[in-house]
Amino acid sequence: MADLLQVQGVTKRFGGLIALEDVSLSVRDGEIYGLIGPNGAGKTTLFNCMTGLYDLTGGEVRLGGVLLNGLKPHRIVEAGFARTFQNIRLFANMTALENVMVGRHVRTRIGLVGAILRTPRARAEEAAIRDRAVALLDHVGLRGKARTLAGHLSYGDQRRLEIARALATEPRLLALDEPVAGMNPTERRQMADLFQRLRADGLTLLLIEHDVKLVMGLCDRVAVLDYGRKIAEGEPARVRADPAVIAAYLGGEAA
Amino acid sequence: MDILTQQLINGLVLGSIYALVALGYTMVYGILELINFAHGEVTMIGAMVALTVIGLLLGMAPELPGLMVVFSGLLVAIPACMALAFAIEKVAYRPLRRAPRLAPLITAIGVSIILQNVAMLVWGRQYVAFPAILPQGQYEVFGAHITDLQLVIVALSLTTMAGLWLLVERTRLGRAMRATAQSKEVAALMGVNVDRVISATFVIGAAIAAIAGVMVSAYYGLAHYHMGFLLGLKAFAAAVLGGIGNIAGAMLGGLLLGIIEALGAGYIGDLTGGFLGSHYQDVFAFFVLILVLVFRPSGLLGERVANRA
Amino acid sequence: MRTALDALRARPRLAFALLAALLVALPFLVGAGLGNSWVRVLDFVLLYILLALGLNIVVGYAGLLDLGFIAFYAIGAYVYALLASPHFGLHLPFWAILPISMALAGLFGVLLGTPTLRLRGDYLAIVTLGFHEIIRIFLNNLNAPYNLTNGPQGINLIDPITIGGHALSRPLELFGVTVPSTYLYYYVFLAFTLLVMAVAIRLQDSRLGRAWAALREDEVAAAAMGINTRNVKLLAFAMGATFAGLAGGLFASFQGFVSPESFSLWESFLVLCMIVLGGMGHIPGVILGAALLTVIPEALRYLGDLQRATLGHVVLDPADLRMLLFGIALVIMMIYRPAGLIPSRQRKRELTARDGVAEQEQASLYDAKA
Ligand SMILES: Nc1ncnc2c1ncn2[C@@H]1O[C@H](COP(=O)(O)OP(=O)(O)OP(=O)(O)O)[C@@H](O)[C@H]1O
Ligand SMILES: [Mg+2]
């Protein structure tokens, strides 16, 4: 299978701190790719670099061959790269439905004039946005919560809503930053099922996760970051046995 | 007379006043990320209080030396402004410390309106004249004039800045202020009483503002309930120019802005072929502000503030 | 009362008809009850509602604190004054000028917004404030060497709005009834206000309105969800400026006179007060705020008359108290009722329950440990 995402020699410095050093990895079309590593390893920073929230100090990121470096975040979303946030960033005072509808922004067109005149096209598009958002809420298991304010949802539901919102942008690659953190085992299983379904729908997933069991069961391949460097990559079972990985985790904390 | 030298001197004098007011903005911003919009008004109150005291003293004992009278006015204005700033922080800003960003800014505007209008009720709509009791000596330097008053203003500004510098760098309070500016949470964990430090920051800024207020009214020979507004805006522009949150930056920004304004006012006529005249002096501060924010939002000495994701 | 309201709610058509009748009859009711000078106040209420609706798009919808809003009002007013007065000898009709007023104000909005909108919110506030000062200084001084604005004296003898050959500055004889000029302006202003209100409501409920709300809530997340934050901000800014330009044009024709004094910074703060008091982002709140803050100062005048009648002279001039009271109201509202008198349900939660964010921070601390 072809590579969908290619990360080449990415380096990110914050003043004196080197958060990422020469990280390269590639995610194939249609796989679930895990990114693991101890706290502070640089996983979230890599997401921020790929999605245009941080400028790279060096290196390249490509999605389906298109260079993402230097693009504005909204362009990167347009190119088909959607993400969620580790410290959930929903629009807390908008309803769940509205949150997902915002996700449709990038795939819809109606602007000022259409909105003011409420042209038939504008109305049709608005209805389509709403239908799609409702369907996505269903898809992630938030049926019946459409009118709840995002800030009032339970923790697990907020994580689900972030996924629905990201899906609304019609990504080719969905990057999830610790999507099951803080969930109980049942919820985790439901989420794992959801990821499998998304993959079956043709989506490629990039997953940061601390839950090793989940990662091992779900991912086709994994990469391990430690102190900003990639120390291992490959099939989960092999990576788990890698002495460098074991050392990294034992040196940091027991995971 | 050498216009360039003269305008440089004038700019330096005005700039040292801007620098003092800018310090108040920058210190508060450094700690709370709040634009203390009312700071210009605190400066105005300082001038008004001092002038009232000066007027009373002159009424009671006209034979007192002028410098002493003005100094007494200053000695009353400083604690008055400190108390005022303490109260403002406590009543208007503290309850909003965790509120969304716009809320404290709107409150600050409210406080500013209140102070201005209270001043108008107390001191009236008229300009209050600064009595001509200060030494009026004048010297020639490089073909330009410099007055006693200008010398006093620059000297007092420099002394005040040096004092503040020592306070921030060498005292326990200063260390606590720097720690709080870095991170309120960490400072609190290290045993710093963050509320006290924030109060202290407002109060110190207000004391300096009082000095600036007296200076500016002495310099222009008058005070007015509306004077704090433009002065405050310009001082804020100076703080941004130097790099907001940065104390040395406020000093540098103030001086620079003063000089830019003076030179601008002196030469705008020539530059525009007489189309624009010196009454455009006040627009320079805002053009500088906009240019800095566009091209170097962190200011001259500020660090780049990373947009945390 | 409640049952009457419920009854109306059940019959929207009747409610609508009643409301329409009330709006049409309002100047006559006010004129008969309080005197014709109050109809003039009513006209100003409508102008301020227009302004407040415009600023509400910028501040309430998109969360951008624009303190120089009145500068755009001034631009609209001066455009009208220059194109329809003896100053240049131009006398274009109002329907030709108003679009120019709006477009030019909007253009200035874009010009100011383009470099500054990537700044953090509070910087934007100060820059817009500075912009206002710049505009005011230019209006005051652009009378020499070339006389564009006529300086502090302002521009006089501005043409009134003329509809169907009738200048609104003159009373209209209609079926034997004399309708005074202020009444005529009321209807024109009312039409524009309703139009702008409809636009504001439609925008709020649209793809663009959601993008504004998202931007207000969390700019980073909005960008990461594919919103071009810069363009969307610019659009809000320009929309607000355009509405202000419209209000400015109407104001110029109504007054027949403009000068820099009418566009002081306090006007900007006043309009901000209106939307804060009423309820940011919520159209009924904004309307209430604008109405209250226009009417209250007028009513306060009676306090002066009262003092004169009882004490023989005016001790405290109510005009002096006006801004003071506004300042106090602003502070108290922010501390105790930050969502305004009639907040939108959404905004209320946002400004009162500040824990949305705090909870999230807690949560992220928690999963950092997990
Ligand atoms: N904006 C920033 N400025 C300065 N340093 C940063 C910034 N963002 C991240 N860092 C630093 O970069 C390093 C990597 O952080 P990152 O959040 O990417 O780790 P992580 O692998 O996601 O950890 P965790 O599992 O705890 O989420 C850390 O040392 C962090 O302090
Ligand atoms: Mg992380």
The residues lining ligand 1, judged by C-beta closer than 6 Å to any ligand atom, are: A 14, 17, 19, 37, 39-45, 86; B 306, 308; C 368
Interface test with A, best of C207, C219, C350, C352 (most A CBs within 10 A): C207
Indicate the CATH number for domain A1-80+171-255: 3.40.50.300
Whether residues C224 and A89 touch (CB distance < 8 A) is answered with yes
Please give the average per-residue pLDDT across C95-100, as a whole number. Answer: 91
What whole-number distance in Å separates Cα of residue C232 and Cα of residue C219?
Answer: 11
| Of A23, A192, A159, nearest in space to A83 by CA | A159
Report the separation in Å between the CA atom of A40 and the middle of ligand 1, taken as the mean of its atom positions: 5
pLDDT for position C353? 42
pLDDT for position B303? 60
pLDDT for position B190? 87
Neighbours of chain B (3+ CB pairs under 8 A): A, C
Q: Which residues of B touch C131 (CB under 8 A)?
A: 286, 290
Name the architecture of domain B2-131+141-295. Answer: Orthogonal Bundle (1.10)
A13-34, pLDDT tens digit by residue?
A: 988 899 999 999 999 999 999 9
Would you place residue C1 in the very low, low, confident or very high pLDDT band (cuts 50, 70, 90)?
low
Would you place residue C350 in the very low, low, confident or very high pLDDT band (cuts 50, 70, 90)?
very low
Measured between CA atoms, how close is A238 to chain B, in angstroms? 33
Which stretches of chain A score pLDDT less than 70? 1, 250-255
Measured between CA atoms, how close is B28 to chain A, in angstroms? 25
Interface test with C, best of A43, A55, A97, A102 (most C CBs within 10 A): A102
Q: For residue A117, how many other CB atoms are within 10 A of its CB?
A: 13
- Which residue of C lies nearest to A119 if distances are taken between CA atoms? C202
Which amino acid residue places its CA nearest to atom 6 of ligand 1? A14
Long-range contacts, A131-135 (Cβ 8 Å, 24+) = A132/A104, A132/A168, A133/A97, A133/A100, A133/A101, A133/A103, A133/A104, A133/A164, A133/A168, A134/A97
Q: Which of C67, C122, C320 sits opposite B117 (nearest CB)?
A: C320
Rg over CA atoms, chain B: 19
Is the per-residue pLDDT at C323 higher than 60? yes
pLDDT for position A1? 56
The overall average pLDDT reported for chain C is 83
Its pTM stands at 0.87
Contact present, B36 and B206 (Cβ < 8 Å): no
pLDDT for position C344? 64
* Pairwise pLDDT comparison (B264 vs C6), residue with the higher score: B264
Whether residues C115 and B101 touch (CB distance < 8 A) is answered with no
Which amino acid residue places its CA nearest to atom 9 of ligand 1? A45
Interface test with B, best of C273, C334, C355 (most B CBs within 10 A): C334
Contact present, A75 and A91 (Cβ < 8 Å): no
Please report, in tens digits, the pLDDT of each residue of chain B (309 residues total).
577 888 899 999 999 999 999 999 999 998 888 889 899 999 999 999 999 999 999 999 888 888 899 999 999 999 999 999 999 999 999 998 877 777 888 899 899 999 999 999 999 989 999 988 888 888 888 888 889 999 999 999 999 999 999 999 999 999 999 998 888 888 888 888 999 999 999 999 999 999 999 999 999 999 999 899 889 989 998 998 898 888 889 999 999 999 999 888 877 777 776 667 667 788 888 888 888 877 887 888 876 443 333
Q: Which residues of B touch A54 (CB under 8 A)?
A: 309
Measured between CA atoms, how close is C257 to chain B, in angstroms? 24
- Which residue of B lies nearest to A49 if distances are taken between CA atoms? B309
The verdict on whether omega for the bond into residue C145 sits within 30 degrees of 0, i.e. cis, is yes
Q: Which of C116, C144, C146 sits opposite B293 (nearest CB)?
A: C116
Contact present, C367 and A179 (Cβ < 8 Å): no
pLDDT for position A157? 93
Q: How many angstroms separate the Cα of B138 from the Cα of each of A189, B90, B146, B151, C44?
A: 85, 45, 6, 10, 55
Query: Where in chain A are all domains bearing CATH 3.40.50.300?
Result: 1-80+171-255
Q: Which residues of B touch C330 (CB under 8 A)?
A: 106-107, 109-110, 113
Q: Which residues of C touch A155 (CB under 8 A)?
A: 363
Q: Which residues of C touch B107 (CB under 8 A)?
A: 330-331, 334-335
pLDDT for position A251? 65
Measured between CA atoms, how close is A131 to chain C, in angstroms? 14
pLDDT for position B82? 97
Q: Which residues does B contribute to its contact with A (CB < 8 Å)?
A: 306-307, 309
ipTM: 0.92
DSSP-assigned letters across all residues of A148-169: SBGGGS-HHHHHHHHHHHHHTT
Tokens of C331: 């502070």
